[in-house]
Structure 1
């Protein structure tokens, strides 16, 4: 998985009824765009994240 600052990360809910969450990549800490990433979720919460199989990166260029 590779991401750049500004890309969006979509984390799918893991259980029935759990909502998907979106976060913006605000810092890439791995080499060549690899995890871990510092992300900011919609509610303003920031965390360090190493995305798992329930995660999708939406690149800035895809949204344009």
Structure 2
């Protein structure tokens, strides 16, 4: 029988990274933005983010945040 193992994947968030924060409730929109500054020790949070709607926030990411990768959208077949 295989033992189960939890793999931890650390995000590499840096100045210029694009992020997406998923809505936490039904009907909440996703927020997309760019990291302007990494203010934590060793590249950790908090992060100053400019969202695509022009707003800026200092965030401590939760499980609803992921890195946005350009080119992940499937193209025409």
How high is the TM-score relative to the length of structure 2?
Answer: 0.70
Does residue 57 of the first structure (1) align with residue 57 of the second (2)? no
- Structure number having the greater strand percentage: 1
Q: What is the count of residue pairs matched by the alignment?
A: 61
Structure 1: 4+ residue segments shifted above 2 A: none
- Structure number having the greater helix percentage: 1
In angstroms, what is the RMSD of aligned CA positions?
Answer: 1.6
CA displacement at 1:63 relative to structure 2: 3.4
Gaps of 5+ in 2: 1-10, 72-77
How high is the TM-score relative to the length of structure 1?
Answer: 0.82
Indicate the structure whose relative CO is greater, using CA pairs within 8 Å and at least 6 residues apart. Answer: 1
Gaps of 5+ in 1: none
Larger Rg: 2
